[in-house]
Amino acid sequence: MNINNFYNTLNVTNDTDLKEFAKKSGVNFRKLKYYAEEMIYPNRSDIDKILAVTGLSEIELQLRLGHINSDLMKLLSSHSSQILDILKVDEQGKPEKPILKFNPIFQTELGKLYQEDCIPLIRSLPRESVDLVFADPPFNLNKSYESGMNDKLTKAEYLQWTEEWVLGCVDLLKEGGSLFIWNLPVWGTHISEILNKHLTFRHWIAADIKYRLPIQNRLYPAHYSLLYYTKGEKPNTFNGERLPLEVCRHCGGDIRDYGGYKDKLNPLGINLSDIWYDLSPVRHSKYKTRTSNELPLKLLERVISMASNEGDTVFDPFGGSGTTFIVSEILKRKWIGSELGPVDTIQERFRDIEFHEKVIKDIQEGKNKLFTDEVRKIRIKNNKWLPETLKNSPNGNSKRSASVKQIEIFPKL
């Protein structure tokens, strides 16, 4: 349902007409406006009032507003042949959308960057040719970007545009390929509705990043959604990742009490969960290469390492500052991407690729181990347990090496 459909259904063209309809129907003007702008199907009592004024049946109202519930879907399915005949007549004479060819504005041995709108670019690429898609689209927050564009659309316009590029990305994915979409939770719910009809849901990953101030009369918005879907029953690639044990950054001590189970912790670290607490906003001037929000290298390193292998192809339809491309290049993935705005920042990052290689190396050296080298030194200094001090103890209380004292004994739970 979009605002134009709602207004057309009520036979109104402006606020003056809408106020007149509100008087006739007895439905509050602000409620009518809310239904239209937020694409909300009216409450039962208001539906009856709207039907009385318009003379429509509820099925016709649902069809006009695009509100297709399961009962209406069954009815449409039972009349599919007749509907198809109508659609064929309606489509006659309409020209097909041309498939354009584009030339990259920048490329490396592994990747190609196009300074183009992502939707025609997606149409130009071979279907089922990509192993991994990562997308960080505009959030529709009335923000001006370096391209000179402003992303404030109506809700209906934004969702229509979203559906078009999302389905295009679905077509690009190989069987077993993975798709990740980074957005605000409010839009994640709508994108999931699209994807659930085409791909297999894997995870709704909550990334705990606090960019904004608390909003009055609302919960503090403190996370972004990262949707993770695959094409087909299971992914071709899933390289599990483990994180170091969470410890006090000052003394290196345990934050959680693992009791008598410390000796059973995997020496490679703790399983990565679907809540990511270790991603920070890009604030350092060396990392932050554009005025709009930039995704941290750790996020893309994690996604690309987890869901692809060397030689696989990664596609990003919203290049931004080029984080996906620089990480793909460093991790030896082929990559394709588009960015509608200026691309000089992306090219500059590739000229400074040694800096990013060092950051990626540090990220990779800090995972798949129970304690980082730095934390180990702090724990030894402060007489905290380490995996090797637990090896020979059935209850997790073995003697320490000469530099580490006896650990405290915890009873089994």
- Residue 387 within any structural domain of the chain: no
- Residue 101 within any structural domain of the chain: no
Please tell me whether residues 34 and 125 are part of one structural domain. no
pLDDT at position 263, please? 82
Please tell me whether residues 161 and 220 are part of one structural domain. yes
Domain that holds residue 186: 106-365
For each of the chain's 413 residues, which pLDDT tens digit applies?
456 789 999 999 999 999 999 999 999 999 999 999 999 999 999 999 999 999 999 999 999 998 899 999 999 999 999 988 888 766 666 677 778 899 999 999 999 999 999 999 999 999 999 999 999 999 988 766 555 555 678 899 999 999 999 999 999 999 999 999 999 999 999 999 999 999 999 999 999 987 666 778 888 888 999 999 999 999 999 999 999 998 998 899 998 877 778 888 898 999 999 999 988 766 545 545 444 457 899 999 999 999 999 999 999 999 999 999 999 999 999 999 999 999 999 999 999 999 999 999 999 999 999 999 999 999 999 999 898 887 655 554 444 333 333 333 333 33
pLDDT at position 142, please? 75
Please tell me whether residues 57 and 157 are part of one structural domain. no
- Residue 74 within any structural domain of the chain: yes
Please tell me whether residues 30 and 162 are part of one structural domain. no
Please tell me whether residues 134 and 251 are part of one structural domain. yes
Residues 6 or more apart whose CB falls under 8 angstroms from that of 170 comprise 179, 195, 198, 199, 231
b/e 214-253 (16+ beta carbons within 10 angstroms → b): eeeeeeeeebbbbbbbbbeeebbbeeebbbbbebeeeebe
- Residue 405 within any structural domain of the chain: no
Please tell me whether residues 137 and 55 are part of one structural domain. no
pLDDT at position 402, please? 35
Question: Which of 91, 119, 154 represents a domain boundary (last residue)?
Answer: 91
pTM for the full predicted model: 0.86
SS3 content of the chain, % helix, strand, coil (to 5): 40, 15, 45
Residue 130 CA to residue 336 CA, distance in Å, equals 9
Phi, psi of 167 (to 5 degrees): -65, -30
- Residue 154 within any structural domain of the chain: yes
Please tell me whether residues 7 and 125 are part of one structural domain. no
- Residue 311 within any structural domain of the chain: yes
Question: Which of 64, 91, 118 represents a domain boundary (last residue)?
Answer: 91
Question: Which of 39, 66, 91 represents a domain boundary (last residue)?
Answer: 91
Domain count, the chain: 2
Would you give the DSSP letter of residue 263?
A: G
Please tell me whether residues 112 and 151 are part of one structural domain. yes
pLDDT at position 118, please? 96
CATH code, domain carrying 312: 3.40.50.150
Closest CA relative to residue 5, chosen from 156, 163, 153: 156
pLDDT at position 401, please? 38
Please tell me whether residues 341 and 232 are part of one structural domain. yes
Residue 11 CA to residue 163 CA, distance in Å, equals 27
**Helical (H) or strand (E) element with 205:** strand 200-208
Residue 334 tokens read as 């082929």
Residue 99 CA to residue 333 CA, distance in Å, equals 27
Please tell me whether residues 87 and 114 are part of one structural domain. no
pLDDT at position 397, please? 47
Please tell me whether residues 277 and 188 are part of one structural domain. yes
- Residue 185 within any structural domain of the chain: yes
- Residue 48 within any structural domain of the chain: yes
Please tell me whether residues 121 and 61 are part of one structural domain. no
